[in-house]
Structures are given as C-alpha cells and as structure tokens.
Amino acid sequence: MKDLIQIMAVFAVILTIIPTIVFLRPNESASKPAFSEKEKIAVYFTESGKTEDFTLEEYMIGSVLAQMPADFDEEALKAQAVLAHTYICRRQLSETQSPTPALKGALISDDSNLYQSFFTLKAAKKYYGNDYEKAYKKVRSAVNAVKDDILTYEGEPIIVAFHAASNGHTQSAKNAWGEDIPYLLSVDSSADKGLVTTECTQTLTAKEFQDKLLDRFPDINFTPLANADSWLKTKTDGIGYVTNLTVCGYDIQPNTFCDILDISSPCFEFTFANTKFTFTSHGFGHLVGMSQYGANAMAEKGSDYKAILTHYFTDTKLQKSTELAQLQ
C-alpha cells in the first residue's frame, strides 16, 4: 500500500474540504426521481466555461478514482462508491429545490474547494499513468457492484463526509462545524492509531503566524510580538480534538485555523519557544464521517461495505436509489 503521506499529497483537497451543510426542505426530498441508466450528470468546468454530461457509472468511477487510492481493498472502494452516489443524489435534490446560478444548470463543478473531486478519464489517466488500466478495472468493478445503493437517514440521502485518517476516533459534526447531525457522530476508528505517518509537525515563526491569520482575519488585534506566547488559546474535548480556539481573544473555527496554517487536522497540540509555534497534529482532514484508512482496515479484516458505512454513519440505512422516488 502507498505511504499515507504520499496519498495525502494527491488527495489532500478532497480530504479537508468541509461539506456544504444544506438541509433539504421537508416533504420535498423525493421531488425528483433517482438517476436512471440513461440520465446524465452535468459537471461544469470552470476554466473552459463548458458543461459536460456523464452517466451515473462514469460519474461514480471518476469520483472514486479521484477520492480514494485504487489499491485499497475492494470493499472500501465500494463504500466510497456508495458515498459518491449518495453525494450526487443529494446534490440533485438540492439543485432541484434551489439552483446555484454559478453552476449554470449543472449539479457540481470541478472546483474542489466547493464540490467533491471528480476525475474525467483524461485526468485519471494522467494521475494513474501506467497503473490506469488496473485502477480503472478495479474501481469499475466496485462501482458496478453497488451502483444502485445510496446511504440514507430517515429516508433522505445523507450529507457525505469522509477523511483520510483520524486519531483513533472520528469527530462529530457538532464539534467540527457546530451542526448537530445525528448520523455524523464520533465513532471508534482504532486502526488509524497504528499509522505513525498520521502525526505531522508544522513550525511557524510568530511573524508568519501573525501574517497568515491577518491575511484572512484583518480584525484580529494582535498584541506585540514579545507577547506571542499568549496569543493562542485552545480547548479540547476528551479525545484530543480542538473544539474552541481564540487568537488574541478573536474566535476562529478550528478547521478554518488549520486550513490557514496548513495544519493537517483539528486534533493538535502546540508549543511556543524561541519565538516559534510548533504544532503537532494527528490524522488528516476534518476527521468527520468515514475514515478512509479505517474503512480499508475494516475491509482487510473481513467487513463488507455495508458494515463499514453503517459503522461510520450512525443509524443510517442502505437503500436502492430507485426508492427515492417513492419516499415522501
């Protein structure tokens, strides 16, 4: 298996992006049927300004190739494929209710700061190189095995969240984003603890720390550099995640703070010495939802994709996508 650090270098963006929390209106979650074999999924490409259509199979394959290493166990790939299908179903329902003008009729764009990543075949061939045919065949097999499945909570496609690896427990949406989402709770992911490579260190001078934060938050009232050791205050929960964070009294959301300073996750400790901040973080991404490494470890120990998904997403249910049209 590829070293997780190498994996993160390529998959970093989609593993740290915070899902847009859009709640579907009551009694409208089934306002549009699920995707048929012939129906196309429109993707808007920002650079060209053009929209391209893809079949559901093409979309799911392209998503999994972009989101999870193809050398992972097939059951982990199946779990990722179900999440890709679930994600685009929820996007379809959301766009039906409230279209996003910038998408120009598409369901997503290739802006991975806003939407989950997707590879066209050309992009996948460029990334996988000589391993492309093997990767494509394996991912296509996983997709075709589960392409009718979506993950739901109370009859609605879930808000999809996943990350590379946690610190041994995933983080709840409540702690991470302040949103109480009943199926995005903290759950055990013990296999992640065995990854030495999930611990990362980031060092910044006090001036670098100040400049990076002021660039995003110009209203922070920094005290003199001589007092830098008192700038940062954090509170953590019982499993090590930073839940509250202030810089010179200015509240900053922990995931945002990590994004600004290139800290790998909101599970971190810090020290200040010799005018430098040193951050030691554990895990990769926002740490909410499915741990991909944990999913792969479960698969290698015999769990199927159904067990993986229902472990990481509390009280959810796997349903056939065609059932969406019947939900009220």
Domain that holds residue 78: 4-175+286-326
Nearest to 141 by CA among 208, 240, 75, 195: 75
User: Which tokens go with 150?
Assistant: 């979506």
Q: 252 and 140 share a domain?
A: no
- In eight-state DSSP terms, residue 169 is B
Nearest to 203 by CA among 291, 280, 96, 99: 280
Element (H, E) at 11: helix 4-16
Q: How many CB atoms lie within 10 A of CB 228?
A: 20
Nearest to 298 by CA among 192, 152, 140: 192
Q: 85 and 112 share a domain?
A: yes
In a domain, 39, yes or no: yes
In a domain, 190, yes or no: no
Q: 266 and 216 share a domain?
A: yes
Q: 31 and 146 share a domain?
A: yes
CB of 209 closer than 8 Å to CB of 275: no
Q: 92 and 156 share a domain?
A: yes
Per the structure, the count of domains in the chain is: 2
Please, what is the Cα angle at 133 between 128 and 136, to 5 degrees?
A: 80
Residue 115 neighbours by CB under 8 Å, 6+ apart = 91, 108, 109
Q: Which strands form 276-282's sheet, in the order they lie side by side?
A: 199-205, 276-282, 268-273
Q: 128 and 43 share a domain?
A: yes
The SS3 of residue 323 is helix
Q: 34 and 58 share a domain?
A: yes
Residue 37 neighbours by CB under 8 Å, 6+ apart = 55, 56
pTM attached to this predicted model: 0.81
**Spatial separation of the C-alpha atoms in residues 321 and 146, rounded to whole Å:** 10
- Per residue of the chain (328 residues), what is the pLDDT tens digit? 444 444 544 454 444 455 554 455 444 444 444 555 567 999 999 999 999 999 999 999 999 999 999 999 999 999 999 999 999 999 999 999 999 999 999 999 999 888 999 999 999 999 999 999 999 999 999 999 999 999 999 999 999 999 888 888 898 998 888 889 999 999 999 888 776 566 788 999 999 999 999 999 999 999 999 999 999 999 998 888 898 999 999 999 888 898 899 888 888 999 999 999 999 988 777 789 999 999 999 999 999 999 999 999 999 999 998 876 554 3
Strand partners, 54: 41
User: Which tokens go with 45?
Assistant: 């490409």
Q: 210 and 128 share a domain?
A: no
Q: 206 and 99 share a domain?
A: no
